[in-house]
Structure formats: structure tokens, C-alpha cells
Amino acid sequence: MRNDEATQIRFVRDRLTEHYPQVSPGIIAEIIARAQAALTDARVRTFVPLLVERRARIELSAVTSGAILTL
């Protein structure tokens, strides 16, 4: 993972932690890690942080609303 991608992922983590204060930072980190793992083989890395954030927000929205979601 390139350094700028890692920086962007940290920004994603910070935004999600602020937006979902009811979810522990550890759970948010796990969700982000799963989203990143799904994109490990992505050739174009430019949009990985954006895609990670979108996928994580979907899962976090489901978690906070009580819905059961399988990604």
C-alpha cells in the first residue's frame, strides 16, 4: 500500500469514527480492514480509499440501524 493511500485510509477512519460515535473505533477499524481486503487486487489504487469508505459506510449504516447485512 502506498503511503498516500495509507494516509487517505486514516482520514477515512477518522471521518467514520466522527460520524458513527456509537460504534467503537475497533469495530470501525475491522470494517475498514475488510473493505480494504476486498480491494487487495485492485489494479488502479487511486480510488481505493473512496471505495473503502463507501463500503464501510454501507456496513456501518446497517449496523447502526440494526439491519443484518452480508457483504
- The residue type found at 2 is R
Measured distance between the N- and C-terminal CA atoms of the chain, rounded to whole angstroms: 23
pLDDT grade for 16, boundaries at 50, 70 and 90 = very high
65 and 59 Cβ atoms separated by less than 8 Å: no
Is 71 a residue whose pLDDT tops 80? no
Give the per-residue pLDDT at 64: 87
Question: Collapsing DSSP states into helix, strand and coil, what is residue 24?
Answer: coil
Give the per-residue pLDDT at 65: 85
Chain position carrying cell 466522527: 18
Cα atoms in the 13 Å half-sphere on the side-chain side of 25: 7
What average pLDDT does range 43-65 have in this prediction?
Answer: 94
For the entire predicted model, the pTM comes to 0.85
Q: Could you say which DSSP state residue 43 is in?
A: S
